[in-house]
Amino acid sequence: MLEVAKEFKLESNYINGEWVAADSGETFNVENPATGEVIGTVPMSGAKETVRAIEAAHKAFETFRKISVMERVTMLRRLHDLILENQEALAQLLAAEQGKPIFEARGEVGFSANYVMWFAEEARRVYGETVPSPWADRRMMVTKEPVGVVGAITPWNFPSSMLARKIAPALAAGCTIVCKPAEATPYSGLAWGKLCEEAGIPAGVVNILTGDPVAIGEVLTSHPMVRKITFTGSTRVGKILMSQSVSTVKKISMEMGGNAPFIVFDDADVDSAVEGAIASKFRNSGQTCVCTNRIYVQSGIHDKFVEKFTAATAAMKVGQSNEDNVLQGPLINDAAVSKTKEFVKDAVEKGGVITTGGNAHDLGHGFFEPTVITNATQDMMFSKEEIFGPVAPVYKFETEEEAVAMANDTEFGLACYFYTKDLGRTYRVMEGLEYGLVGVNEGVITAVEAPFGGYKESGVGKEGGHQGIEDYLEEKYICIGGLGL
Ligand code: ADP
């Protein structure tokens, strides 16, 4: 059994530094997707609680924006240390509500701490500019200021680190924030409230509430006191939030869906391509927005790759988060299993050949067999849609141009990967792919030091890297005259 530590099984909202129930007293259940067991309940909040959280954040912003940067850095460093001190408890909590293997949950919590440290460091480097003045008697400068109250909505696939990417830069910039974690994984979200409280972050600066996504989302996107919306989730919901944010002209950062291609050229090292494909396809059971969705393999290496990739996929142990050597956990819910089955059925009907897996796993609940389908074609459902499950379609191609064209044949543009040893091809393909993140001979490339964000319908803005704080800052141009120069 996973241990859900009492101190992190928080069943209230964290608003204005207080732990409070929903106004109606209503709650909803949080389940372990590997067993169906109810772990506990959290508040079913709506519009009224959201308004109160926004007002608290707005009030807190008046003072928080004025404290020294070193005070904010100190708070972030304490937050970083607290995350690491509680890494095991937070990982167990995350694994219980999300289902991922415990080693991945530990990694995610560590990654959250890394984001907090990174933005604590970046807080000290929010440089402005002096601008050469066209007037002899005036001086010009550009300063940076926090945007104000931020509304954040996050998904269930990385319930800790997706909040880290938003809370840490917001605080580093001097913003305050109202967060709504996903319904499936609210405890990892509420844990941030407790950690922020213990780190001495003032009341109202970070607020976390759970509940009805539509009601909370509507208030966050329309309330005039919220100056920025940051979202990670599906393109469908991101577009709704973007359009709702129009009437009050909020700044927006959106990390939305992906449809990552993974291209293997004839000259690639097949073993490292297989290793990269396994890591990039099956991490979090295929439930990440940078997960490989389509594998394109050049004809000369195709059969060898398929043989080794199928064997590596079949060898992955599926099971509960805390079992030894487990690499694949359950999908988040039954709907995800049904959707995965639909992808497989559609592919088989159109000529796809299953080389391993293909069915719901004997373990039941959210479990699905890691699956490889060859003979994939561009008319199959997964060529256009994000699978978000452990199914790996393999397509065969002949030329470099053909591979790049097929890889770009999607409205998404988040991550892509390719394997080759040829330097010229590396540059041609790297520059030809319309994606925000490119892995060359690497299948897992996310790092706190690098900007994460998509082209096309995959998103707007960047998280992480030195760019990650910019979305939380306004630039103010100042012209000073009357200087007697
Ligand atoms: P996924 O497909 O990964 O579940 P979603 O986009 O559905 O992605 O969910 C991501 C986040 O968006 C979750 O916190 C969810 O509660 C929230 N969400 C879903 N629908 C809406 C909506 N209409 N307005 C605001 N937030 C929403």
pTM of the shown model: 0.97
Q: Is the CB of 182 inside a 6 Å radius of any atom of ligand 1?
A: yes
Task: Check: CB of residue 437 under 8 Å from CB of residue 467.
Answer: no
Q: Is the CB of 217 inside a 6 Å radius of any atom of ligand 1?
A: yes
Task: Check: CB of residue 223 under 8 Å from CB of residue 255.
Answer: no
How far apart, in whole angstroms, are the C-alpha atoms of residue 407 and residue 203?
A: 47
Task: Check: CB of residue 232 under 8 Å from CB of residue 265.
Answer: no
Residue 3 has pLDDT above 80, yes or no: no
H/E run at residue 298: strand 292-298
Q: Is the CB of 413 inside a 6 Å radius of any atom of ligand 1?
A: no
Q: Is the CB of 352 inside a 6 Å radius of any atom of ligand 1?
A: no
Residue 14's pLDDT is 98
Task: Check: CB of residue 285 under 8 Å from CB of residue 261.
Answer: no
Q: How far is the CA of 54 from the centre of ligand 1 (A)?
A: 19
Strands 371-374 and 353-356, by their bridges, are antiparallel
Extract the tokens encoding 336.
């995800």
pLDDT tens string 333-374? 999 999 999 999 999 999 999 999 999 999 999 999 999 999
Q: What is the DSSP string of 183-214?
A: TTSHHHHHHHHHHHHHTTPPTTTEEE--B-HH
Task: Check: CB of residue 303 under 8 Å from CB of residue 469.
Answer: no
Atom number in ligand 1 closest to CA 155: 10
Task: Check: CB of residue 444 under 8 Å from CB of residue 464.
Answer: no
Question: What is the percent of the chain with per-residue pLDDT over 70, rounded to a whole number?
Answer: 100
- Average pLDDT of 281-285? 97
Q: Which residue has a Cα nearest atom 27 of ligand 1?
A: 213
Q: Which of 7, 478, 381 is nearest to 198 (CA)?
A: 7
Residue 260's pLDDT is 98
Q: How far is the CA of 213 from the centre of ligand 1 (A)?
A: 7
**Helices 186-198 and 87-98: crossing angle, nearest 10°?**
160
pLDDT tens string 373-383? 999 999 999 99
Residue 4 has pLDDT above 90, yes or no: no
pLDDT tens string 58-96? 999 999 999 999 999 999 999 999 999 999 999 999 999
Extract the tokens encoding 377.
């074609």
Give catalytic residue positions.
255, 289
pLDDT tens string 202-213? 999 999 999 999
Residue 474's pLDDT is 98
Residue to substitute in 153, 216, 259, 332 for testing ligand 1 pocket (most ligand atoms within 8 angstroms of CB): 153
How far apart, in whole angstroms, are the C-alpha atoms of residue 83 and residue 81?
A: 5
Q: Is the CB of 258 inside a 6 Å radius of any atom of ligand 1?
A: no
- Average pLDDT of 408-433? 98
User: What integer best gives the mean pLDDT of the chain?
Assistant: 97
Task: Check: CB of residue 372 under 8 Å from CB of residue 354.
Answer: yes
How far apart, in whole angstroms, are the C-alpha atoms of residue 344 and residue 393?
A: 9
Atom number in ligand 1 closest to CA 238: 6
Residue 320 has pLDDT above 90, yes or no: yes
Task: Check: CB of residue 445 under 8 Å from CB of residue 437.
Answer: yes
Question: What is the percent of the chain with per-residue pLDDT over 90, rounded to a whole number?
Answer: 99
Residue 16's pLDDT is 98
Q: How far is the CA of 128 from the centre of ligand 1 (A)?
A: 36
Residue 1 has pLDDT above 90, yes or no: no
Q: Which residue has a Cα nearest atom 4 of ligand 1?
A: 155
Q: Is the CB of 191 inside a 6 Å radius of any atom of ligand 1?
A: no
Q: How confident is the model at residue 410 (pLDDT cuts 50, 70, 90)?
A: very high
Q: Give 479's strand partners.
A: 140
- Average pLDDT of 259-278? 98
pLDDT tens string 224-235? 999 999 999 999
Extract the tokens encoding 124.
């000290």
Q: Is the CB of 213 inside a 6 Å radius of any atom of ligand 1?
A: yes
Residue 443 has pLDDT above 80, yes or no: yes
Task: Check: CB of residue 130 under 8 Å from CB of residue 143.
Answer: no
Give the gyration radius of the chain's Cα atoms.
23
Q: Give 399's strand partners.
A: none
Burial pattern 464-477, b for ≥16 Cβ within 10 A else e, equals bbebbbbbbbeeee
How far apart, in whole angstroms, are the C-alpha atoms of residue 221 and residue 218?
A: 5
3-state DSSP helix/strand/coil % of the chain, to nearest 5: 40, 25, 35
Residue 2 has pLDDT above 90, yes or no: no
Q: Is the CB of 269 inside a 6 Å radius of any atom of ligand 1?
A: no
pLDDT tens string 167-224? 999 999 999 999 999 999 999 999 999 999 999 999 999 999 999 999 999 999 999 9
Residue to substitute in 237, 243, 253, 457 for testing ligand 1 pocket (most ligand atoms within 8 angstroms of CB): 237
How far apart, in whole angstroms, are the C-alpha atoms of residue 284 and residue 98?
A: 9
Handedness of CA 265, 269, 275, 280 (dihedral sign): negative
CB within 8 A of 395, min separation 6: which ones? 294, 295, 296, 297, 376, 377, 378, 406
How many separate helices (H) and strands (E) can be counted in the chain?
14, 22
Q: How far is the CA of 234 from the centre of ligand 1 (A)?
A: 7
Extract the tokens encoding 460.
């707007």
Strands 415-419 and 176-180, by their bridges, are unpaired
Q: Kindly list the distances between the CA atom of residue 358 and the CA atoms of 240, 286, 293, 295, 392, in Å, as whole numbers in the listed order.
A: 34, 14, 16, 17, 10
Extract the tokens encoding 193.
């409230």
How far apart, in whole angstroms, are the C-alpha atoms of residue 18 and residue 16?
A: 6
The separation between CA 197 and the C-alpha centre of its own chain, rounded to angstroms, equals 24
Q: How far is the CA of 189 from the centre of ligand 1 (A)?
A: 14
Q: Which of 226, 175, 157 is nearest to 218 (CA)?
A: 226
Q: Is the CB of 211 inside a 6 Å radius of any atom of ligand 1?
A: no
H/E run at residue 119: helix 102-122
How far apart, in whole angstroms, are the C-alpha atoms of residue 242 and residue 178?
A: 17
- Average pLDDT of 129-147? 98
Q: Which residue has a Cα nearest atom 22 of ligand 1?
A: 214
Q: Which residue has a Cα nearest atom 13 of ligand 1?
A: 182
Q: Is the CB of 220 inside a 6 Å radius of any atom of ligand 1?
A: no
